[in-house]
Amino acid sequence: MSPPNQSIEGLPQEASNRSLNATETPEAWDPGILQVLKISLVVVLSIITLATVLSNAFVLTTILLTRKLHTPANYLIGSLATTDLLVSILVMPISIAYTTTRTWSFGQILCDIWVSSDITCCTASILHLCVIALDRYWAITDALEYSKRRTAGHAAAMIAAVWVISICISIPPLAKAQEEMSDCLVNTSQISYTIYSTCGAFYIPSILLIILYSRIYSAARSHILNPPSLTGKRFTTAHLITGSAGSSLCSLNPSLHEVHSHAGSPLFFNHVKIKLADSALERKRISTARERKATKTLGIILGAFIICWLPFFVVSLVLPLCRDSCWIHPALFDFFTWLGYLNSLINPIIYTVFNEDFRQAFQKVVHFRKAS
């Protein structure tokens, strides 16, 4: 996301001196070394951006070309990949130029577009993780009822809600124009907006994700620790009843041992044990295994999300609240910002590595492209 507005004028003398010293130090370096560092930074950030574009594009392509993945749950994953793709196309390239030059030279209009795209897409990416977790939670804890509502239309409604909330969070910064066009920053003079945006984009979703995942984990663990007691095969006694007229009747009622014909003479039968495969139980076992893998994948995504975005949002909330006594080196804030962007690269990698359906489908797509 875009950095908050930090001004040296608002800092105490000691913090101001630290800021000035920090900004002057690179200028004292050898110009050749400084140029090499800038080029190296551009190369690294460009590789991250390109990898983010390709990985999310591959996830989308895999979903589109694989009929097996055309499910409501995977539609949410596809929407997440679309959002992360937008981050890599609309936000990250401009951020490379701004991070390396530390000067905004693209004008007010592009600044507004970039800031709104940054906040909207990054918030939407985070909120997508919430709806994916919510979908998984309902699927595990209320499978029978939710299966009736788990449709493409329901997934579309959840995706629409994500984008509406994200846009609502991104609109307020556009109300006040930037005073200095050498910078393109999110205005944090309104503390109420800072609290509103950080809570809406990160803190509330994080709490929701942690609660949902803990319940998903408990439900999945309960299924794992208390599996069906049957072994997967069921032995059923079939009774072969032979009548006097040469006809036969097969009864599956094990409580009957003798029946009488219309004439009153008893009809006797032999007991035949038939080994029947319990397909319903087998499906249950497969479903439990899938739930366990999906829960593991969701847990890895949750951990990656918190690691990537927590530093940025802590700084974004704390700096405006203690503007007279807090300071952070611009380079460190840039690192936290790109660590958040990195989450858009990590999400598709996690799905292709830890989700078996995606991994198999992805391999098929790659082999198909090589063959063609």
pLDDT bin (cut points 50, 70, 90) of residue 369 is low
Mean pLDDT across the stretch 249-269?
47
The pLDDT score that the predictor gives to residue 256 is: 44
260 sits in which H/E element: strand 259-260
Q: Which of 132-141, 172-181, 352-361 has the highest mean pLDDT?
A: 132-141
pLDDT digits (tens, 9 = 90+) for 7-62: 433 334 444 444 444 444 445 667 878 888 899 999 999 999 999 999 999 999 99
Q: Which residue has the higher pLDDT, 180 or 283?
A: 283
When the pLDDT of each residue in the chain is averaged and rounded to a whole number, the result is 78
pLDDT reading at 138 higher than 50: yes
CA distance 118 to 1: 5
CA distance 72 to 84: 19
The pLDDT score that the predictor gives to residue 202 is: 95
CA distance 344 to 341: 6
pLDDT reading at 204 higher than 60: yes
The pLDDT score that the predictor gives to residue 268 is: 46
The pLDDT score that the predictor gives to residue 75 is: 95
| Contacting residues for 161 by C-beta, under 8 A, at least 6 apart | 131
- The two tokens of residue 144 are 């029978």
CA distance 354 to 59: 13
Mean pLDDT across the stretch 62-90?
94
pLDDT bin (cut points 50, 70, 90) of residue 4 is low
Closest CA to 128 of 14, 52, 193, 205: 205
CATH topology of domain 8-227+280-371: Rhopdopsin 7-helix transmembrane proteins (1.20.1070)
Domain ranges of the chain: 8-227+280-371, 233-277
The pLDDT score that the predictor gives to residue 51 is: 97
Closest CA to 306 of 241, 370, 210: 210
The pLDDT score that the predictor gives to residue 158 is: 97
Q: Which residue has the higher pLDDT, 211 or 1?
A: 211
Q: Which residue has the higher pLDDT, 284 or 230?
A: 284
pLDDT reading at 245 higher than 50: no
DSSP 150-172: -SHHHHHHHHHHHHHHHHHHHSG
Task: Please provide the distance, in angstroms rounded to a whole number, between the alpha carbons at the two ends of the chain.
Answer: 40
pLDDT digits (tens, 9 = 90+) for 85-133: 999 999 999 999 999 988 888 888 899 899 999 999 999 999 999 999 9
Mean pLDDT is lowest, of 22-26, 95-99, 186-190, 332-336, for 22-26
